[in-house]
């Protein structure tokens, strides 16, 4: 059975636990626009590996604490 | 709305205005003289003139938009320090990886629309329609492609 990989993120939670870091502050630390952070946070855009590392560096955590893989069935049985 | 989105909106609006102005002008010319449809030189000159004018207008509008946007950032942020203003403006104008991907996808949409227009115009020519119609379809599809680029 083919499995679809779904990438989720904990950016909202991590921002909250980092003195309620704003999306703008995170955007400046990662070197992207606030719109890009909004898109990533809401799961509408999957960042490049480089940007994913920059975001995890901004929170000073491992990349897998920011982005998680969630294998899901694609519905074909 | 980000700087890129506002700039795209400006391009869309100016593109629509140019298409409307061109269409009304070309229609008026056609009403006056129907033999113009077979005059390829006339349509080529007219289209080239409109391309030059529209390119000039879009460049001037983009420059004016950039200036007014910079001023509005300074006013909204109530900031007088030039370095701080410049930093904020650079942050707004920065094009990141997502912007580049969106740009590439929208360019693809533009190419598809223009390509379809080219095929339609060649088909019209093959079906023995006048050269004036073929050139107008080609030009309008290219303009439509650039407008849809902004929407994408």
ipTM score: 0.74
Say if the Cβ atoms of B91 and A28 lie within 8 Å: yes
Work out the average pLDDT over B60-74.
Answer: 83
Tokens 């004018």 sit at which residue?
Answer: B53
Chain B: closest CA distance from residue A49 (Å): 11
Say if the Cβ atoms of A32 and B2 lie within 8 Å: no
**What's the token pair of residue A25?**
């502050």
**What's the token pair of residue A53?**
């590392």
pLDDT of residue B45: 92
Rg, C-alpha atoms of chain A:
14
Work out the average pLDDT over A11-30.
Answer: 92
If pLDDT is split at 50, 70 and 90, which confidence band does B72 have?
A: confident
Give me chain A's average pLDDT, please: 87
For A:32-71, CB contacts with B below 8 A are 32-36, 39, 45, 47-48, 51
Nearest-CA neighbor of B149 among B6, B2, B9?
A: B9
pLDDT at B6 over 50: yes
Q: Given phi > 0 = left and psi -120 to 50 = alpha, else beta, which region is B59? A: alpha
Nearest-CA neighbor of A14 among A6, A3, A22?
A: A22
């Amino acid at each position: 059975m083919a499995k679809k990989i779904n990438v989720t993120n904990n950016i909202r939670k991590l921002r909250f636990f980092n003195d309620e870091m704003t999306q703008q502050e995170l955007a400046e630390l990662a070197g992207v626009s606030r719109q890009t952070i909004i898109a990533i946070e809401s799961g509408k855009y999957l960042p490049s590996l480089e940007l994913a590392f920059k975001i995890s560096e901004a929170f000073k955590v491992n990349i897998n604490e920011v982005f998680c893989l969630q294998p899901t069935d694609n519905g074909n049985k | 709305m980000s700087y890129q989105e506002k700039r795209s909106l400006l391009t869309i609006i100016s593109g629509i205005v140019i298409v409307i102005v061109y269409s009304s002008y070309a229609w008026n010319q056609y009403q006056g003289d129907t033999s113009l449809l077979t005059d390829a030189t006339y349509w080529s000159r007219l289209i080239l003139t409109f391309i030059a004018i529209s390119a000039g207008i879009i460049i001037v509008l983009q420059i004016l938009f950039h200036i007014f946007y910079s001023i509005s950032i300074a006013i909204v942020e109530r900031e007088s320090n030039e370095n701080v203003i410049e930093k904020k403006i650079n942050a707004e104008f920065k094009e990141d990886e997502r912007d580049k991907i969106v740009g590439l996808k929208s360019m693809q949409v533009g190419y598809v629309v223009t390509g379809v227009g080219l095929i339609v115009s060649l088909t019209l020519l093959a079906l023995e329609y006048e050269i004036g119609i073929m050139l107008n379809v080609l030009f309008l599809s290219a303009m439509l492609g650039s407008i849809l680029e902004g929407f994408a």
